Structure 1
């Protein structure tokens, strides 16, 4: 019978360069009863992930647990040995990580990953383990579990990798599930499916859930209780309805306001219909694999254009072809059929160097070499594509970092010494160094908390205005698309099913899949966030 998780007076510190400890968590208290859904929320850097890592005894070498107890039933995990923790991890406690591709072994297939917990914690082997693995993959939303089971992690999209991680976390039938931003890379439909799967496990067999998130819509729909962290301290805790409707702390109010602003603001005015196209995809098709392993097209017969100084939102479920479309547009993939054309410097134009279109990736930590200082990584495109004197290269580098509202001192750091928000802004700075006319943002804010997301989105709007940039915003987040876009394009199973001005799309989506995406937005969020919506900010975005 599950006994629940209890964390009392948890103190954790990090050793700095001088050797002096710096507090990371200060007296954190929380509990997860069997069958309870507890949300742990807070801004980036507040200590949410470090709390989860403390529970599993997976703190980094420079971080230490100074005091406190972590009890799972009668076992104090804070004082447990490696053998006991090995039995707990993946067995009594399942873990969903925020960046699944970094957690999978790249040399093993998804089936090989799933076989391990099924054998260690369920005693399943051979055909029985394979059958259960395919069941788990089907339960988390894979239409073709066999193909996923054969795939290696790098062959999956971000959302598909996250779903595979959910299957892995549930394989050992845990008593408690620690979920660290498990749906941040998923569209609203799949987010709902995954959360309902977790909720069903909670109801049917008493699974306790500690859900770490910056998504207050998710919290409002599923959480029994909410714990708010700020700078390593619990600043508010209580029933979800009380905390979200009558927040006491300034931190909770700030998180609610940041979340509310995105879907509530009026979208920019539509770009002029007579604006010329700066990038065009004409009947583009791309299929991956060879021979018998050649799958269905990731993108099929897509015709789409980006107008001058337009922000085009591209919306779709995980695996719908959004990222493949971005890679085709920037020239990282070549289409099997059709063509990509655009302004000078864009894919398909004359010249071997395609610098007019730049791409900002979804996961900022994967965009930099962890062994290099950030200065070296940012200088690389200038050294490769521009023959500039050292002084001019340095001046351009410093200007780009300041333009994304960061201190140039960060250039001397390594990626692991920066937050996700800082790294994401640096990826934008690096993209701007080559003075592109088109910037493609592939889920560029999905891993960020609401406040940091708003900062990055407003930065992109300012750059769009000041630099006369044309933007493609790829996202599964309807709030981001509505906040940023002039027009919305919807992909479904690799095909373009709808293209409409933003206001028209959200007022009356025409395609059935578009209606599903809009309807899948989590319930209760509007009622809750309406209390915290600030007056609309009427941006004057060039058409």
Structure 2
């Protein structure tokens, strides 16, 4: 029987001259068939732990003392050739930003063919059949079409599912999953997690699952490991750690989850106001040919001045296409977009689709922060670029504005001397918000702006956006698959399904009584989980609720407890 993954007393640090610890004495294990959740705030060291297991540490990071072994194989001392055989073979990998891991010149089918050939010796027809089967298992209705597609032709959620298929191609004994469902809606998240769990049970697959989603942890994890500041702060069975956390960082994650859910529709309904953005019968197609579905199909929708509009939908429903149209990155094939925008300096700008007017008045916070920064430029230069183009302030004024914007998103200006690769995903996500605010826009479009953040950081960013909305009279479009984010922020909710607008309602009305079939599915998926405990639990203690006799907690019971007045 293989020993599984064992990490003992692992120390990592930044190389001299700026030597500082990254991980300090980290120890954890994943037995065959065990699901271990590694949780913690952004920058706590979760991803660095996974990269150390894979032998993919950045060049500026060096390993000190400690050991990492898989089934008796010493991973820290393995040669490059040995690690290449392990990666994609005995170790499968799921990344937080899947599109960054794909070669943009290769089809998804070609990506699948490589591990099938290298690790299982399959070629030709056998490899093609296995590739289609893996894509079908990952939730694709048309595996043949996806196999022919290139990464840029997939939405964020579709790319994540394709990466899962690639990770499972080598029939691994250990799966490292770094926030694999952060870009997925709740329906797809459930499908992916069920697939991972089925593989775990069927093949004895060990899973190290990095996440900040406590509901996910409760439903699937056997054990939970909590990290903070590069150290393991707490570990144990899921019901113990989540039911009676001993450390402040674990309690903070639970409390942040509870506060986000409590503030339902706290923004309230805005008063009557004019429309500042309006789509009239907008259609946008990317795929051509018979049977090709448009990305957006005859969508009519408006944003009111001072409003926060939530846009919900599954992966591939057209949410990001809507954002790209509103910032003039794409132009509609049919229909029109009318804009009547008020700038922070009091000037009004009117324009139609394709006019180029909203280049500064409408700003977009990107879904994938790593793709929003030039990896060759330091962060200060990336933030300074839009101010340089405006030529409206001196170098000192630009520096002051950038430093203030960075402080507004709970970061220190000192980090602006880094490159993007030296930052966590959560830090980069906050920096995209800071850059978007530098030009004082009238409208901020947040495309999954908090999907990569832990619960604590997410709450801080959402509260920051609410403060900016109030203080700057900023109008917001919150594009998300996270029902809690939409409920927390929005005045109205628009639901997209297969490119069509299927429902538009006030937030309270929508969550109380969704009308469209797809809306009902989304609300139901957020309320419950198929693996949640079915038995009623009278006790007010999280630890009293066990999932199928294991250390797991039912999602429904967890959410009831963290949203109760006494939690």
Normalising by structure 1, report the TM-score: 0.93
* Native 8 Å contact 2:287 2:293 kept in 1: no
Cα distance, 1:12–1:127 mapped onto 2, change above 3 Å = same
Counterpart pick for 2:304 among 283, 302, 307: 307
Shift of 1:373: 2.4
* Native 8 Å contact 1:224 1:239 kept in 2: yes
Distance (whole Å) between structure 2 residues aligned to residue 28 and residue 392 of structure 1: 43
Shift of 1:458: 0.6
Cα distance, 1:272–1:84 mapped onto 2, change above 3 Å = closer
Q: Confirm or deny that 1:348 pairs with 2:352.
A: yes
Shift of 1:260: 1.8
Shift of 1:40: 0.8
Q: Report SS of the residue matched to 2:458.
A: helix
Shift of 1:433: 2.5
Counterpart pick for 2:504 among 496, 499, 506: 499
1:187-336 equivalent positions in 2, closer than 5 A: 187-272=185-270, 274-290=272-288, 295-336=292-333
1:376-415 equivalent positions in 2, closer than 5 A: 376-385=381-390, 387-390=392-395, 392-415=397-420
Distance (whole Å) between structure 1 residues aligned to residue 59 and residue 520 of structure 2: 48
Normalising by structure 2, report the TM-score: 0.89
* Native 8 Å contact 2:42 2:427 kept in 1: no
Cα distance, 1:167–1:124 mapped onto 2, change above 3 Å = same
Which residue does 1:158 correspond to in 2? 156
Which residue does 1:477 correspond to in 2? 482
Which residue does 2:12 correspond to in 1? 12
Distance (whole Å) between structure 2 residues aligned to residue 374 and residue 419 of structure 1: 13
Cα distance, 1:226–1:394 mapped onto 2, change above 3 Å = closer
Which residue does 2:370 correspond to in 1? 365
Shift of 1:272: 3.8
Which residue does 1:339 correspond to in 2? 336
Shift of 1:144: 2.1
Shift of 1:476: 0.6
Q: Matched residue pairs, number?
A: 533
Higher mean displacement: 59-68 or 516-525: 516-525
* Native 8 Å contact 2:224 2:238 kept in 1: yes
Distance (whole Å) between structure 2 residues aligned to residue 233 and residue 361 of structure 1: 30
Which residue does 2:444 correspond to in 1? 439
Q: Report SS of the residue matched to 2:196.
A: helix
* Native 8 Å contact 2:92 2:176 kept in 1: yes
Which residue does 2:123 correspond to in 1? 125
Shift of 1:321: 0.6
Shift of 1:3: 4.1
Shift of 1:414: 2.7
Shift of 1:410: 3.8
Cα distance, 1:29–1:115 mapped onto 2, change above 3 Å = same
Distance (whole Å) between structure 2 residues aligned to residue 362 and residue 448 of structure 1: 11
Q: Report SS of the residue matched to 1:219.
A: helix
Shift of 1:121: 1.3
Q: Confirm or deny that 1:519 pairs with 2:511.
A: no
Distance (whole Å) between structure 1 residues aligned to residue 326 and residue 356 of structure 2: 15
Q: Report SS of the residue matched to 1:447.
A: coil
Distance (whole Å) between structure 2 residues aligned to residue 515 and residue 53 of structure 1: 39
Cα distance, 1:208–1:409 mapped onto 2, change above 3 Å = closer
Counterpart pick for 1:425 among 418, 430, 440: 430
Distance (whole Å) between structure 1 residues aligned to residue 381 and residue 60 of structure 2: 25
Higher mean displacement: 392-401 or 144-153: 392-401
Shift of 1:14: 2.0
Q: Confirm or deny that 1:459 pairs with 2:464.
A: yes
Q: Report SS of the residue matched to 1:444.
A: coil
Question: CA offsets, 1:429-457, max 9 Å, x none?
Answer: 22222222111000001011111111111
Q: What root-mean-square deviation, in Å, do the aligned CA atoms of Structure 1 and Structure 2 show?
A: 2.1
Distance (whole Å) between structure 1 residues aligned to residue 55 and residue 371 of structure 2: 25
Which residue does 1:528 correspond to in 2? 558
Which residue does 1:540 correspond to in 2? none
* Native 8 Å contact 2:328 2:356 kept in 1: no
Distance (whole Å) between structure 2 residues aligned to residue 152 and residue 208 of structure 1: 30
Q: Report SS of the residue matched to 1:172.
A: coil
Cα distance, 1:352–1:513 mapped onto 2, change above 3 Å = closer
Shift of 1:50: 1.3
Cα distance, 1:347–1:37 mapped onto 2, change above 3 Å = farther
Cα distance, 1:392–1:232 mapped onto 2, change above 3 Å = closer
* Native 8 Å contact 1:7 1:28 kept in 2: yes
Q: Report SS of the residue matched to 1:191.
A: helix
Shift of 1:505: 1.2
Distance (whole Å) between structure 2 residues aligned to residue 457 and residue 289 of structure 1: 35
Shift of 1:71: 2.2
Distance (whole Å) between structure 1 residues aligned to residue 513 and residue 103 of structure 2: 44
Q: Confirm or deny that 1:508 pairs with 2:517.
A: no
Distance (whole Å) between structure 1 residues aligned to residue 350 and residue 194 of structure 2: 43
Which residue does 2:89 correspond to in 1? 91
Shift of 1:532: 4.1
Higher mean displacement: 359-368 or 436-445: 359-368
Q: Report SS of the residue matched to 1:41.
A: strand
Which residue does 2:143 correspond to in 1? 145
Which residue does 2:21 correspond to in 1? 23
Distance (whole Å) between structure 2 residues aligned to residue 203 and residue 309 of structure 1: 50
* Native 8 Å contact 1:311 1:472 kept in 2: yes
Which residue does 1:175 correspond to in 2? 173
* Native 8 Å contact 1:186 1:318 kept in 2: yes
Structure 1 residue runs of 5 or longer lacking an equivalent are 537-543
* Native 8 Å contact 1:302 1:495 kept in 2: yes
Cα distance, 1:350–1:159 mapped onto 2, change above 3 Å = closer
Structure 2 residue runs of 5 or longer lacking an equivalent are 342-348, 533-553
Distance (whole Å) between structure 2 residues aligned to residue 263 and residue 346 of structure 1: 38
Distance (whole Å) between structure 2 residues aligned to residue 496 and residue 325 of structure 1: 11
Shift of 1:390: 4.6
